[in-house]
Structure 1
Amino acid sequence: MTTLFRTTFGFASTAGEVLAGVDLSGTRAVVTGATSGVGIETSLALARAGAAVVLGVRNVGAGKETAARISEATGNADVDVARLDLADLGSVREFVDSWHGPLHMLVNNAGIMALPELTRSPQGREMQFAVNFLGHFALTVGLRDALARAGGARIVSLSSSAHMAYPVIFDDLDHRFRFYDPIGAYGESKTADVLLAVEADRRWSGDGIRANALHPGAIATNLQKHTGGLRTPPERRKNPAQGAATSVLLAASPLLSGVGGRYFEDCNEAPVLEERPAGLSGGVAPFALDPANAERLWTVATEMVS
C-alpha cells in the first residue's frame, strides 16, 4: 500500500499560512477563474509570495479590478489580466498563442456548477464538461512547452468531492442520449479534472512537470448560484482563504517537490475509497485515479479539441 503524502497543514489552514516564508520571485503563474472566491485568494497568495500572476478571465474589466486590488494588497505590481473563455476553444487558442516564455504554475481553478438546463458550448459540448475540463485540457496541452521551459513546473487541477458519484461516461460525453442531470454533469466533469492531472503527470513528469488534483472544500462562492447555496454543515465549511490553501500547496510549496499524479484535500493526500461514503465526504474514487481511464480521456479530449 502506498503511503499517503502528509503535511503539517490541515482543514483550517489558509493559503497565506501555507506559503509563509516561500519566495516565488522570478516565477510566473496562471490562475483561471481568478475574479472570485478561491481564485482570488489563490492569486493573492501567489502574488504576495512574489510570483508574477496572470489572471485568465472571461470578464477583462472585472479582471483588471481584481488585479489592481491584488497589487495594492501585496505590493506586487506584476499582476496582469488576459481574456480566457474556457467554454470557447478559440478563446483558449488565443490565450495560448499570446503566451511567451516559461510558466511555472498553472492553476486550473475556473468552474461552473449545476447548470439547470442542458447547455452547449460553441463547439457543441455539454457546458460543464466544456468549461471545467475540456477548456482546461486545451489550455494545459497548449502551454506544455512553456511549462517544460520552467524547469520544474506545477499543474493544479481543481476537482470536487462530487466526483465520487459520477465516473466519466465515455459512450456519451456530449449528452446526446442520456437524460441531463445538473449535478451529475458537474460531478463527471470533476472526475475528468482528476484524470487530467493523472495523465499529465504520467506523460510529462520526465520533463519536470508535475500535476496534482484537489478538492478545495466546501466554500460559499458564486459556484453554488444554481444549487440554492451551500448545503454543507457549518462545521465543515471553509472561507475562501482556507479553500485556496490546498491549491497553493500544490502550486508552490517546496513540500510538494517531485510529487505528482495524486488527489489532495485539506492540504493532504486523500485516501482511495472502496465505496462511496455518505454525504460524499472525504477521499477519492478509484475510477478518478485509474491510469487507463486517464489515458483514454486524454486521447478522446485530444480529438475533441483538434
Structure 2
Amino acid sequence: MVSASRIVTPFGAESTAAEVVAGIDLTGRRAIVTGGASGIGVETARALAGAGAEVTLAVRNTEAGDRTAEDIIATTGNKQVLVAPLDLADRASVAELVAGWEGPLHILVNNAGVMGNPETRTTEGWELQFATNHFGHFGLTTGLHAALAAAGGARVMSLTSSAHLRSPVLFSDIHFRERPYDPWLAYGQSKTANVLFAVEATKRWAGDGITVNAVMPGGIRTNLQRHISEQELEAAARNAGGDVRWRTPEQGAATSVLVATAPLLDGIGGRYFEDCNEPGPHQPGTRRGVAAYALDPEAAERLWEVSVAALAS
C-alpha cells in the first residue's frame, strides 16, 4: 500500500522546471504536452526534452508548434521534439491524434486550456471551457489508455487552477443552459473537473501502472489570459489579498515537470499539487489548497460516467 502521507519536496514556488528535473534521465521515455507551443507548455516540453525524453507538442497551431520545436531542439540538443495537430474542442481532432499514436506513452501532460472566454459553444452545444479543459482531455487520455498501460508506470498530469475554488461541477447544469453564463464559474468548474478526473482515473487505472495527478501551476501571464483585460488581472491579484504571485513560465512549469518525473511520486496518484508540493485542504480566505469537493470520490465517479456518455453521444 502506498502511504497516504502528504508529499513534501525540497522545491517550492520559486523553483524552475529545469531545477526540479536536474539529474533525472528520461532517455527512452515518450511524452505528449498539449498546448506545448505557448506559455508554460513550452517550458514543460523544454524541461522534458532537456532530460532526454521524446516530446510531442500537441497543438492547434502547428506552425507555432514547429517554431517551438525548433527552439527546443536548439536549446536542448534533443532532436526528438515532434509536433502533432490537436484541437481539444473537436472530437475528430482528438480521435485523429489517438489513432495516429503508436507505441508506449510514458508521460502525458494535459496542459492546454481556455479561460474566461465569452459564452461559446461547440457543435455539440457544450460550453467551450468545459468541452476543452475537461471533455477534450478526457477523450484524449482515455483514448491513449492502451499506450499509457504499455509504458509501465506511466504518469498523467491534469492541469488545474486555484480557480477550482470558485465552483464544484454543477451536474444539473454543466453547460449553462438553465442559468446565466458566467465565464468564471464555467472556468472554475472545468478546473474542478480536472482534479476529479485525476481521482477517478487513478482509481480505475492504478492496476495498469498508470497514475494521474492534478497540478496547479500558479499565476503566469500567458496567452491563456487573452480574454481578460489588464485591469481584470490586476483586480484579481488585489482581491486575492496579495496571495497571487506572478511567476515566470519556467517557474509555472515546475510543478508539472516535478510530478511527471520525480522518483518520489512513483505509484502516487489521485492527488493535487501546487508549488511543487502537496498542499492541505483549502483554507477560507486564501487561494491555496484543494477544495474537498474536488477530491470527492462520488463526484469523481459521476463525472467519469457523464463524460463517457457525452463522448459516446
TM range (shorter): over 0.9
Matches within 5 A, 1:95-106: 95-106=97-108
Q: Pick the aligned partner of 2:257 from 248, 264, 277.
A: 248
Q: How many residues align?
A: 302
Matching of residue 163 in structure 1 with residue 158 in structure 2: no
User: Is the 2:255–2:275 Cα contact (8 Å) retained in structure 1?
Assistant: yes
Q: CA separation in 1, counterparts of 2:190 and 2:223?
A: 18
User: Is the 2:166–2:184 Cα contact (8 Å) retained in structure 1?
Assistant: no
For residue 2 of structure 1, report the CA deviation from its aligned partner: 4.9
Q: Please state whether the residue corresponding to 1:268 is helix, strand or coil.
A: coil
TM-score of the two chains, using structure 1 as the length reference: 0.96
Matches within 5 A, 1:1-306: 2-116=4-118, 118-229=119-230, 230-231=233-234, 232=237, 233=242, 236-273=245-282, 277-278=284-285, 280-306=286-312
Q: CA separation in 2, counterparts of 1:223 and 1:235?
A: 16
For residue 234 of structure 1, report the CA deviation from its aligned partner: 9.1
User: Is the 1:217–1:243 Cα contact (8 Å) retained in structure 2?
Assistant: yes
For residue 256 of structure 1, report the CA deviation from its aligned partner: 1.1
For residue 255 of structure 1, report the CA deviation from its aligned partner: 1.8
Query: Cα deviations across residues 200-250 of structure 1 (Å, max 9, x unaligned)?
Result: 100001110001001100111111122214433497221100000000011
Q: CA separation in 2, counterparts of 1:108 and 1:122?
A: 22
For residue 134 of structure 1, report the CA deviation from its aligned partner: 0.5
**CA distance 1:2–1:100, shift in 2 (3 Å):** closer
Q: CA separation in 2, counterparts of 1:293 and 1:135?
A: 19
User: Is the 1:88–1:123 Cα contact (8 Å) retained in structure 2?
Assistant: no
For residue 141 of structure 1, report the CA deviation from its aligned partner: 0.3
Query: Cα deviations across residues 118-139 of structure 1 (Å, max 9, x unaligned)?
Result: 1011222100001111000000
**CA distance 1:71–1:288, shift in 2 (3 Å):** same
For residue 198 of structure 1, report the CA deviation from its aligned partner: 0.7
Q: CA separation in 2, counterparts of 1:219 and 1:84?
A: 23
Identity %: 58
Amino acid of the residue matched to residue 153 of structure 1?
A: A
Query: Cα deviations across residues 254-287 of structure 1 (Å, max 9, x unaligned)?
Result: 12111111000000002123x6x32x51100000
User: Is the 1:27–1:51 Cα contact (8 Å) retained in structure 2?
Assistant: yes
Q: CA separation in 2, counterparts of 1:245 and 1:103?
A: 21
User: Is the 1:87–1:122 Cα contact (8 Å) retained in structure 2?
Assistant: no
**CA distance 1:238–1:173, shift in 2 (3 Å):** same
Q: CA separation in 1, counterparts of 2:171 and 2:60?
A: 29
Q: Please state whether the residue corresponding to 1:269 is helix, strand or coil.
A: coil
Q: CA separation in 1, counterparts of 2:138 and 2:34?
A: 12
Q: CA separation in 2, counterparts of 1:45 and 1:207?
A: 26
**CA distance 1:104–1:178, shift in 2 (3 Å):** same
Query: After the TM superposition, which segments of 4 or more aligned residues of structure 1 sit over 2 Å from their partners?
Result: 229-235
Q: CA separation in 2, counterparts of 1:145 and 1:295?
A: 21
Q: CA separation in 1, counterparts of 2:21 and 2:122?
A: 37
TM-score of the two chains, using structure 2 as the length reference: 0.94
Q: Please state whether the residue corresponding to 1:125 is helix, strand or coil.
A: coil
**CA distance 1:235–1:168, shift in 2 (3 Å):** closer
Q: CA separation in 2, counterparts of 1:33 and 1:199?
A: 23
Q: Please state whether the residue corresponding to 1:26 is helix, strand or coil.
A: coil
Q: Which runs of 5+ in 2 are unaligned?
A: none
